[in-house]
Amino acid sequence: MADNYKQNASSAMDMQYVYCNICCSSEERLIVIQNGYRIVRCKGCGFVYVNPRPTVEILKQLYLSYLPEKIEDPLLWDAYMKEVFAKAANMLARRFPKAGSVLDIGCGYGFFLLQMKKRGWQTHGMDVSETAVSYASGQGLDVTLGTLEDVKHKDNSFDVVTLFYVLEHLPDPLKALKEIRRILKPNGLLLLRLPHTTPIVRVLSLLGIKNNLYDPPFHLNDFSPETIRALLRKAGFDNICISIGGVTRPPGVVTRFTTLFFGFLAEASYRISFGRFLLPGVAKTIIAEKR
């Protein structure tokens, strides 16, 4: 049976089953199979994740060329994320009248760090892509090749830690969030940017449209506002605020039009409802505080 869903793993030995990262339940319901991988929903808390999935060692190999394969041209990546980065920088500026220190995990080509550096912040980054780290370092940024497990920072090191479209890729999000909390200063902020894929997959399934939106095995988790709040609280964060936080501009006319349309609709409904309504299926920006 394993052969039906291990397309990107070399053998059954390269796959592992996991419990729900939020409530530790093993009770799950199959949502869909994409790229040969099972995407399931936890019966206990509703968390959506890939199970089973490649081992950490296999995932590291897969990620060596992930960023260049997604968007090879750094300038296209800058255009794709520019508005989101600008809104995130403005959020942080409102929280920190004086510039502080920021660590961007999964910093990619370093464009968010460049924005923060221009605002006077001490900037640090890390990424698993050699291409991205080389480019960011060439821009004069302090960027390290590796993961949180590879690069050990001291307790209370940063005012802010950011992850843009990273947490959905991590095999153990809870462990990562606890480590981030450790390296944040007291009253420091965590800023996340996350997709929310499940509502879109539901609609497309009802319409009979096949898709690969979960993008397994690269995306291992899909967070709703409810499940990310639960995970952040379990990791020790509070004062959690979820907003739309801008719209990405992907290459491709149809994809860009669709993204912009629903992004602007999400922003408008969020503002009209005074922050009470978060349109399902669009990416969200989350801020949480270390107390």
Higher pLDDT, 6 or 58: 58
Q: Report the predicted TM-score, pTM, of the whole model to 2 decimal places.
A: 0.91
| Both tokens assigned to 263 | 């992004």
CATH number where 25 lies: 3.40.50.150
| Count of structural domains within the chain | 1
Tell me the residue range of the domain where 194 lies.
2-290
Which residues partner with 15 through β-bridges? 54
CB atoms within 10 A of CB 112: 26
pLDDT score recorded for residue 68:
56
Beta-carbon contacts of residue 44 (< 8 Å; ≥ 6 apart): 20, 23, 25, 27
Q: Looking at residue 153, what DSSP letter applies?
A: P
Pairing of strands 221-222, 184-194: unpaired
Which pLDDT score, from 0 to 100, does residue 1 have?
31
Quick one: tokens of 4?
A: 């039906």
Q: Which of 60-69, 160-169, 231-240, 267-276 shows the lowest per-residue confidence on average (mean pLDDT)? A: 60-69
**So what's the pLDDT on residue 152?**
87
